[in-house]
Amino acid sequence: MLRTTNLCKIEVINTMKKLILSLFVAGLALAASAEDGHLLWLRSQPVNKAKVITKKSSPTIQIAKEELETYYNGERVTLKLDGKMPDDDGYRIDGTTITARRDVGLLYGAYALLRMQQTSALGHQPSALLESHPTYSLRLLNHWDNPNGTVERGFAGRSIFLNPDPERMKIYARANASIGINGAVLNNVNAKPEALKTESLQKAKQIADQLRPYGIKVYLSINFASPIKVGGLTTADPLNADVIRWWKDKVNEIYKMIPDFGGFLVKANSEGEPGPQDFGRTHADGANMLGKVLKPHQGIVMWRAFVYAPQSPDRANQAYLEFMPLDGQFADNVIIQIKNGPVDFQPREPYSPLFTAMKKTPMMVEFQITQEYLGAANHLVYLAPMWKEFFSFVKPASLKAMAGVANIGDDTNWCGHHFAQSNWYAFGRLAWNPDLTSEQIAEEWLAQSFDMKAAANSQLLSVMLDSREACVNYMMPLGIHHIFAGTHHYGPEPWYAPRGVRADWTPPYYHKADSIGLGFDRTMNGSANVKQYPEALCRMYNDINTCPENLLAWFHHVPWDHRMKSGRTFWDELCHKYDDGVREARHFLTVWDSMQPYVDSQRFEEVQRKLRIQARDAEWWRDACLLYFQTFSHRPIPQDMDHPVHNLDEMMKFNIPIGMYENPAQGYTK
Ligand code: GCV
């Protein structure tokens, strides 16, 4: 009896020991695996092994040295400046010697070497000879941050610039420098005049000082009426001598504080913002006045072409109509900043025809990294394929620069969704080299952001590469556009058209559904938008039989029974596209669920929650759009697909909010 009891005790003690040990091991594993995404793609652990040899020292070279000495796992790296290299930010890596013309080139070279180390499994050899030069000298993030800390179309918390915390600024600067981003516009293009008050400039100076060693210049968005609103003048007429003097003094004040200030970004005469047209002047008059004032300081003006008037029969025509007559009239330090598409960052648009029409004006493209129209921070949508699509029509060399509307806020993981970090990453990599493929960039990002086995990586790679087309499918396939909810741009509201709201801010203006068909007739018989494209494209888009099907309802009012290449009618094809999108969104979730063994628990769960939202939203999109369009088509939903599970009348009463399942995004301000 006694013996048995003792044996039992021993067993209990052993079991407890085992339990404690396993809890300890599990605890360790958990601690090791907990990741919150705060370090972005720069998650390497210090190895503190390399010795870096360099003759020159500067704050930028010092950072390059520290990065390599901390994270490079070779013995020795040499950093060399070479005045014979091309005069740009490029670098050469020969074994473990990095050579560059500029200090910042050495920093970019250091990050490139570290990237090779992190992605070596992809077959990049650290010892390979590599010389790389940026396609664009200006690679800018546009932050739409407001002085009160909100971020317009931001879904990742509040502005990181509200109280620029040095630790956060350092991660931000490292991340940008690691992918070659060299400029940040600190405030919203819907600029408050206060942005130019001395107190605000002092804050900009503080940020500029923190970013400078990483090769990043700061820029500001300005309100064109600032001479009135800040300066107390009675006019902001760009040809008025007092106005010009006010801008000169303001610019001098800025450069005293920030000697390497980059320049101004201007949204003028657009969506109610003031501009030169308010004083009977042109965009060129306004932009050139600012250009002249900035010129002695080597500053630039980025003047946006995002303009449209409420009464126009076709919003897509307008930027061209306003800017083409001014081609060749802009000063040489003015760049016209044009959104990739002619309407507004839709999941799919054709390229803006201004890019191929303007021949005598420096231009830059504005992409939107924040997912205003692609599921906010809830949907996994990798945007590189969309930007590459743009570059398949617009030659990179025809542009001067690239800007991206940032998806960054003070959320722990910066971008709201762990995978949204890949869009920040992809933007920077493409601004350096638009010839990189979406696949290369996604592979690099995955290799640096997770520690997965190759097979798992390749499944995630497919998810990323398919995600943009999936989003197009479940939101607005076959060229449909701008059928978003009226009060935000997250869910569908193709029926939204309250009295009193400008027509071009309502979906029926764009989809034009009726008993005949669906889509906006932009052919020569319609708004003639096709005419703004080069002749061959014009011809192709104008003919419903040659127009690419993925833009069909963009350029045509497509009859419901129009025969598609698949043999289906347009209506049936539309139904299938929506259903494909839903299936794809569900498939992304299934793939992710199988990643659990390879991903740290925190990021696994956070991404899983978002993918579940995405799959539910996709279903909501399909049901809302198909049931609503069916009231015009009067055709049945095909039998060989999943049928809607919601009722239209119920959906029409409910406006799916961005934060339906999560905390609402704080950013939306309009
Ligand atoms: C910053 C769209 C967005 C606005 C944005 C505007 C622009 O209309 O919805 O939030 O304003 O584009 O790019 O200026």
Residue 216 CA, ligand 1 centroid: distance in Å: 25
Cβ(152) – ligand 1 distance below 6 Å: yes
Start-to-end Cα distance in the chain: 80
Kindly report, residue by residue over 396-455, the tens digit of the pLDDT.
999 999 999 999 999 999 999 999 999 999 999 999 999 999 999 999 999 999 998 887
Q: What angle do CA 139, 145, 149 make, to 5 degrees?
A: 145
- Residue 456: what pLDDT? 80
Residue 32 vs residue 439, higher pLDDT: 439
- Residue 658: what pLDDT? 67
Say yes or no to pLDDT of 9 above 80: no
Beta pairing class for 130-132 and 558-559: unpaired
* Residues 524 and 483: beta-carbon distance below 8 Å: no
- Element housing 366 (H / E): strand 363-368
Say yes or no to pLDDT of 376 above 50: yes
Report which protein residue has its CA nearest ligand 1's atom 13: 306
DSSP-assigned states of every residue in 158-224: S-TTSS--HHHHHHHHHHHHHHT--EEE-S-SS--GGGGSHHHHHHHHHHHHHHGGGT-EEEEEE-T
- Where in the sequence numbering do the catalytic residues fall? 271, 344, 372
Cβ(344) – ligand 1 distance below 6 Å: yes
Average pLDDT, integer, range 491-500: 95
- Residue 135: what pLDDT? 98
Helix 421-432 vs helix 166-179: angle between axes, to the nearest 10 degrees? Answer: 50
Say yes or no to pLDDT of 663 above 50: no
Buried b (16+ CB within 10 A) or exposed e, 517-533: bbbbbbbeebbebbbbb
Say yes or no to pLDDT of 368 above 90: yes
Nearest atom in ligand 1 to the alpha carbon of residue 152 is 10
> Can you say whether the dihedral through the CA atoms of 141, 147, 152, 158 is positive or negative?
positive
Say yes or no to pLDDT of 111 above 50: yes
Distance CA 587, CA 594 (A): 11
Residue 91 vs residue 662, higher pLDDT: 91
- Residue 26: what pLDDT? 40
Residue 413 CA, ligand 1 centroid: distance in Å: 24
Distance CA 329, CA 336 (A): 11
Say yes or no to pLDDT of 383 above 50: yes
Residue 105 CA, ligand 1 centroid: distance in Å: 34
- Element housing 402 (H / E): strand 401-405
Cβ(153) – ligand 1 distance below 6 Å: yes
How many residues are recorded in the chain?
A: 670
Helix, coil or strand: residue 517: strand
Cβ(190) – ligand 1 distance below 6 Å: yes
- Residue 33: what pLDDT? 54
Cβ(394) – ligand 1 distance below 6 Å: no
Cβ(144) – ligand 1 distance below 6 Å: yes
Which range has the worst mean pLDDT, 3-7, 50-54, 593-597, 655-659?
A: 3-7
Say yes or no to pLDDT of 240 above 90: yes
Kindly list the distances between the CA atom of residue 335 and the CA atoms of 7, 12, 136, in Å, as whole numbers in the listed order.
84, 76, 13
Q: Which residues pair with 51 in a beta bridge?
A: 76
Residue 99 CA, ligand 1 centroid: distance in Å: 42
Residue 138 vs residue 31, higher pLDDT: 138
Residue 377 CA, ligand 1 centroid: distance in Å: 17
Helix 166-179 vs helix 198-211: angle between axes, to the nearest 10 degrees? Answer: 60
- Residue 613: what pLDDT? 96
Kindly list the distances between the CA atom of residue 137 and the CA atoms of 360, 396, 523, 638, in Å, as whole numbers in the listed order.
19, 12, 38, 52
Average pLDDT, integer, range 525-534: 98
Distance CA 220, CA 189 (A): 9
- Residue 669: what pLDDT? 30
Residue 345 CA, ligand 1 centroid: distance in Å: 9
Cβ(617) – ligand 1 distance below 6 Å: no
Return the structure tokens found at 428. Answer: 């920077």
Above pLDDT 90, what percent of the chain? 89
Above pLDDT 70, what percent of the chain? 92
Kindly report, residue by residue over 125-140, the tens digit of the pLDDT.
555 689 999 999 999 9
Ligand 1 mutation pick, 143, 153, 337, max ligand atoms within 8 A of CB: 153
DSSP state of 400: S
Alpha helices in 280-373 (DSSP H): 283-294, 318-323, 354-357
- Residue 121: what pLDDT? 72
Which amino acid is residue 648, in one-letter code? L
- In terms of Cα–Cα distance, which of 311, 419, 442, 316 is closest to 371? 419
Say yes or no to pLDDT of 147 above 70: yes
Cβ(277) – ligand 1 distance below 6 Å: no
* Residues 569 and 560: beta-carbon distance below 8 Å: yes
- Residue 157: what pLDDT? 96
- Element housing 303 (H / E): strand 300-304
Average pLDDT, integer, range 603-627: 97
Residue 517 CA, ligand 1 centroid: distance in Å: 30
Distance CA 406, CA 598 (A): 29
- In terms of Cα–Cα distance, which of 346, 439, 432, 341 is closest to 394? 341
Distance CA 579, CA 556 (A): 22
Distance CA 9, CA 18 (A): 14
- Residue 487: what pLDDT? 79
Return the structure tokens found at 42. Answer: 């720069």
Nearest atom in ligand 1 to the alpha carbon of residue 190 is 1
- Residue 339: what pLDDT? 98
Return the structure tokens found at 52. Answer: 């870096």
Reported confidence tier of residue 549, pLDDT bands at 50, 70, 90: very high
Cβ(267) – ligand 1 distance below 6 Å: yes
Q: Residue 643: CB partners within 8 Å, gap ≥ 6?
A: 637
Nearest atom in ligand 1 to the alpha carbon of residue 339 is 13
Distance CA 260, CA 212 (A): 9
Q: Which residues pair with 145 in a beta bridge?
A: 151
- Residue 12: what pLDDT? 43
Reported confidence tier of residue 3, pLDDT bands at 50, 70, 90: very low
The pTM of the full predicted model, rounded to 2 decimals, is 0.94
- Residue 123: what pLDDT? 62
Distance CA 413, CA 408 (A): 9
Distance CA 216, CA 210 (A): 9
Distance CA 554, CA 93 (A): 46
Distance CA 426, CA 408 (A): 14
Ligand 1 mutation pick, 266, 343, 344, 349, max ligand atoms within 8 A of CB: 344
Say yes or no to pLDDT of 31 above 60: no
Say yes or no to pLDDT of 7 above 90: no
Say yes or no to pLDDT of 200 above 90: yes
* Residues 331 and 291: beta-carbon distance below 8 Å: yes
Cβ(306) – ligand 1 distance below 6 Å: yes
Average pLDDT, integer, range 453-477: 95
Owner of token pair 């640096």: 448
The mean of the pLDDT values for the chain is 93
Owner of token pair 């004006």: 361
Residue 225 CA, ligand 1 centroid: distance in Å: 19
Helix 103-118 vs helix 438-449: angle between axes, to the nearest 10 degrees? Answer: 80
* Residues 35 and 600: beta-carbon distance below 8 Å: yes
Neighbours of 215 (CB within 10 A): 22
Neighbours of 257 (CB within 10 A): 15
Query: Rounded to the nearest 5°, which phi and psi values hold at 78?
Result: -110, 135
Distance CA 485, CA 15 (A): 59
- Residue 134: what pLDDT? 98
Reported confidence tier of residue 120, pLDDT bands at 50, 70, 90: confident
Torsion-angle region of 364 (φ positive above 0: left; ψ -120 to 50: alpha; else: beta): beta
Ligand 1 mutation pick, 223, 269, 306, max ligand atoms within 8 A of CB: 306
* Residues 359 and 287: beta-carbon distance below 8 Å: no
- Residue 125: what pLDDT? 53
Return the structure tokens found at 662. Answer: 């999560």
3-class DSSP string for 137-168 = CEEEEECCECCCCCECCCCCCCCCCCCCCHHH
Cβ(367) – ligand 1 distance below 6 Å: no
Alpha carbon 371 to its chain's center: 7
